[in-house]
Amino acid sequence: MNIWQLLHDQICGEGRKNEPDAADQRLIQAVREEEYQALRLSIGLRTLVLGAVAVMLTIELRWPLALSLYGYLGALAMSGWIQLWLRRPERERPWMHWAFPLVDMTVLVAAVVLPNPFDPYPLPPPMQLGFDTILYVVLFLVLSGLGQSARTVFFSTIAAIIAWTFGTLFILWQPGVSLGLSFDNITTMPVDERIRYILDPWSVRLGEFLPRLVLLAMIGLLLTVSVIRSRHLAARQVEAERARRNLSRHFSPHIAERISQMDDPVGQVKHIEAVVLFADLVGFTQISDRQQPAETIAMLRQVHQRLARAVADSRGTLDKYLGDGIMASFGTPDPGPHDASAGLQAARTMLREMDLLNAERRERGQPDLLLAVGLHFGPLTLGNIGDESRIEYALIGETVNVAHRLEQMTRELQASLCVSQSFIDKLAAETRGDTVIVRDLVMLRAQAIRGLRERMAVWVLPRGAAPDTAADTAASALSRPTIH
């Protein structure tokens, strides 16, 4: 979209061929609220500026010459506060964007061109159009830009040009005032003639009037484009943040951030070593068969909420929901120094949360839910699979399969947590051999893992055994610094 299209849309309003959806309506409402807050800032600064001008005029003109100008300053202040009252988002109307600027510029130019009734020795009227007086008009243009409304700035510019033109015509109608229409190059005039032409106090020179209108038009246009640009950038930022928020509903926050910054829709494949966690409800089918579908969905939401929070609190990545369970990883997409500790802490938190949930369920006469957790550490392949129209962030490798098998083995081992020897080795490397963190786990002899040729030693937390408080605290302390 080019700048002229943006100018048209921001000043005249975008087309209404398609009704905005709910998200767009919320965005429009948010923009209106921000415009109103910007208007409050603009009106507040206007009041301060008018107060400063009043003090300056009092010092420069003294009493009573400044008295008549107080009325104009008061009218400008009153106009600002009326705008603030009328232009609330719920009652703002399009006509307010041009009506108030026209009133403000009319009052401002009137203060410049109308004679001061308290001045016993008035200057020739054209001298009131000096360069310093038009700076007050420019000042009000700048203040209009603070309102973050391109339409207000644009109409303020038009109003300033109209008001200054009529103010100049009013001066021309005064007795004794002439219009300087010299189209000759004044640099070719003799010096004395040039000085008389430039300093003639009773002449309104076209060569000064037109450049000032052009100056007002250029400043107004630049301010309008600046406001449009800032609004466009803000809207893009809001859209990008909304896109990231939508991604975070399907991916963990740091994965969503990584995907949102990818130029290649499929991305690069990455090989790392990380921890994979599987958590699943035991006997879920039997429980769901005894209750209504709505009750089953409500139960799953409670479980998923607690499991997901445990992963997030340990800085892990929630890879996917698996019906009545989840798959998570620690050390993806970038490995950290305490990934195993974070995984163990997440598993302990999940089991503790299930105990709390079961206490609530027992009060309602509902059966307990049993959670099984498996943890494994090993090599993984990370990357997006799919095509340009739809992708899925995936973890692939034997490590995923082994972690899943360990979670399933908890049934026959009568355990709530089952971890591999490679996970324990990784944990030992992180803790420098400190055994406190695993002292509530029991090492079993090498077990046959479906899909693996060799047996694997596993460590379990027997079902019904309360997790060791010291071990839980140690795991929490180690996992806390893990940030990906």
- Do 43 and 167 fall within a single domain? yes
- Do 324 and 449 fall within a single domain? yes
H or E segment to which residue 458 belongs:
strand 458-462
- Do 264 and 243 fall within a single domain? no
The reported pLDDT for the residue numbered 15 is 43
In terms of residue numbers, what domain contains 82?
A: 3-12+20-248
- 45 in Cβ contact with 258 (< 8 Å): no
Q: Is residue 51 part of a domain?
A: yes
Q: What is the DSSP string of 348-403?
A: HHHHHHHHHHHHHHHHTTPPP-EEEEEEEEEEEEEEEEE-SS-EEEEEESHHHHHH
Domain boundary among 248, 270, 297: 248
The reported pLDDT for the residue numbered 14 is 46
List the structure tokens of 403. Answer: 């972690």
- Do 236 and 375 fall within a single domain? no
List C-alpha distances in Å: 387 to 415, 437, 476: 41, 43, 40
H or E segment to which residue 259 belongs:
helix 253-260
- Do 216 and 299 fall within a single domain? no
Side chain identity, residue 41: L
Q: Is residue 484 part of a domain?
A: no
**pLDDT tops 80 at residue 329:** yes
**pLDDT tops 80 at residue 405:** yes
The reported pLDDT for the residue numbered 18 is 47
- Do 348 and 274 fall within a single domain? yes
Question: Rounded to an integer, what distance in angstroms lies between the CA atom of residue 210 and that of residue 168?
Answer: 11
The reported pLDDT for the residue numbered 128 is 82
- 288 in Cβ contact with 296 (< 8 Å): yes
- Do 357 and 222 fall within a single domain? no
Question: Rounded to an integer, what distance in angstroms lies between the CA atom of residue 363 and that of residue 356?
Answer: 11
Give me the helix-helix angle, 206-248 and 22-61, nearest 10°: 140
Q: What is the DSSP letter of 122?
A: P
Q: Is residue 160 part of a domain?
A: yes
Q: Is residue 328 part of a domain?
A: yes
Which comes out higher in pLDDT, residue 202 or 24? 202
The reported pLDDT for the residue numbered 348 is 93
How buried is 91 (Cβ within 10 angstroms: 0-12 exposed, 13-18 middle, 19+ buried)?
A: exposed
User: What are the tens digits of pLDDT across the range 83-141?
Assistant: 888 887 777 787 888 888 899 999 999 988 888 888 788 888 888 887 678 888 888 88
Diameter over CA atoms, the chain: 114
The phi and psi torsions of 374 (rounded to 5 degrees) equal: -125, 140
Residue (of 394, 391, 254, 401) closest to 315 by Cα position:
254
- Do 237 and 323 fall within a single domain? no
- Give 186's pLDDT tier (boundaries 50, 70, 90): low
Q: Is residue 158 part of a domain?
A: yes
SS (H, E, C) 267-286: CCCEEEEEEEEEEEEECHHH
Question: Rounded to an integer, what distance in angstroms lies between the CA atom of residue 387 and that of residue 321?
Answer: 22
- Give 469's pLDDT tier (boundaries 50, 70, 90): low
Domain boundary among 248, 283, 301: 248
Which comes out higher in pLDDT, residue 191 or 292? 292
- Split into its structural domains, the chain has a count of 2
Q: Is residue 71 part of a domain?
A: yes
- Do 232 and 263 fall within a single domain? no
- Do 242 and 110 fall within a single domain? yes
The reported pLDDT for the residue numbered 127 is 83
- Do 133 and 279 fall within a single domain? no
- CATH number for 440: 3.30.70.1230
Which comes out higher in pLDDT, residue 189 or 387? 189
Question: Rounded to an integer, what distance in angstroms lies between the CA atom of residue 309 and that of residue 304?
Answer: 8
Domain boundary among 248, 275, 302: 248
Please count the other Cβ atoms lying within 10 Å of the Cβ belonging to residue 3. 11
Q: Is the backbone peptide bond immediately before 467 cis, with ω within 30 degrees of 0? A: no
- Do 215 and 288 fall within a single domain? no
